[in-house]
Homo-oligomer: A and B are copies of this chain.
Amino acid sequence: MDFRTDFKPVTVQPQEIEDLSFQMIADELGEHPFTDEQFPVVQRVIHASADFDLGRSLVFHKDAIQSGIAAIRSGKKVVADVQMVQVGISKNRIEKYGGEVKVYISDRDVMEEAKRLNTTRAIISMRKAIKEADGGIYCIGNAPTALLELIRLVKEGEAKPGLIIGMPVGFVSAAESKEELAKLDIPFITNIGRKGGSTVTVAALNAISIMAERLD
């Protein structure tokens, strides 16, 4: 491939690169336990991480994909735990149905409330999210405390997410928070173990919004 485009203009088409990558992923993954509607999420997570183990570690609630698609197509909000997740999400496929991608963790009222209660902004941001984005999709790639708080709010009947994509990465509480999520009987996508993070969380959401758009 020649990238010396100032001498010999060539088109390096991102879509072609993506198509080729996705074919390589399908070929190398081989047999897997995922359904046809789950597989695009697995594929895009592997695409974003080059990590087949992480892809294989994904766990889906049976209603996850359909409920996520329905939330997007009915214009529900998408909540990101941190700004890296927010900026990574493809906005056009959310906004075309009336939705928005929100992040609350740096809001002034969240910071003040966290200070007042001597707790984390991640926790308070979820309490704000359930008021502002009920029925929406929660994308948590960074903060296990946010995911644990959201799980608590669901259990207490205070939150009814359309979908939780919970894939925080880390050594303290991340794996445990995802195990708790996987016990819920509500739509979720998560993974087993410490791995995860902003990029794979974004990848999972984007995979679903692409599926949503294909129904147009």
Q: Give me the interface of A with B, judged by CB distance under 8 Å.
A: 1, 3-6, 9-12, 14, 17, 20-21, 24-25, 47-51, 83-84, 87-88, 117-120, 123, 145, 148-149, 152, 169-174, 193-199, 202
Contact = CB atoms under 8 A, between A and B. Distances in A.
A120 to B, nearest CB: 5
Contacts of A145: 3, 12
A12 B119 contact: yes
B119 A169 contact: no
A198 B84 contact: yes
Contact of A118 (B11, B24, B25, B123): B11
A1 B174 CA distance: 13
Contacts of A170: 17, 21, 47, 50
Contacts of A198: 84, 88, 198-199
A110 to B, nearest CB: 14
Given A88-B84, A198-B88, A117 B173 contact: no
A22 to B, nearest CB: 8
Given A9-B117, A51-B195, A88-B84, A3 B152 contact: yes
Nearest to A88: B84
Contacts of A49: 169, 195, 197
Q: How many copies does the complex hold?
A: 2
Given A48-B197, A199-B197, A172 B11 contact: no
Contacts of A202: 84
A40 to B, nearest CB: 16
A58 B83 CA distance: 26
Nearest to A103: B87
Nearest to A50: B194
A102 to B, nearest CB: 15
A119 B10 contact: yes
A77 B199 CA distance: 24
A152 B197 contact: no
Residue from the set A48, A149, A196, A197 with the largest chain B CB neighbour count within 10 Å: A197
A172 B13 CA distance: 12
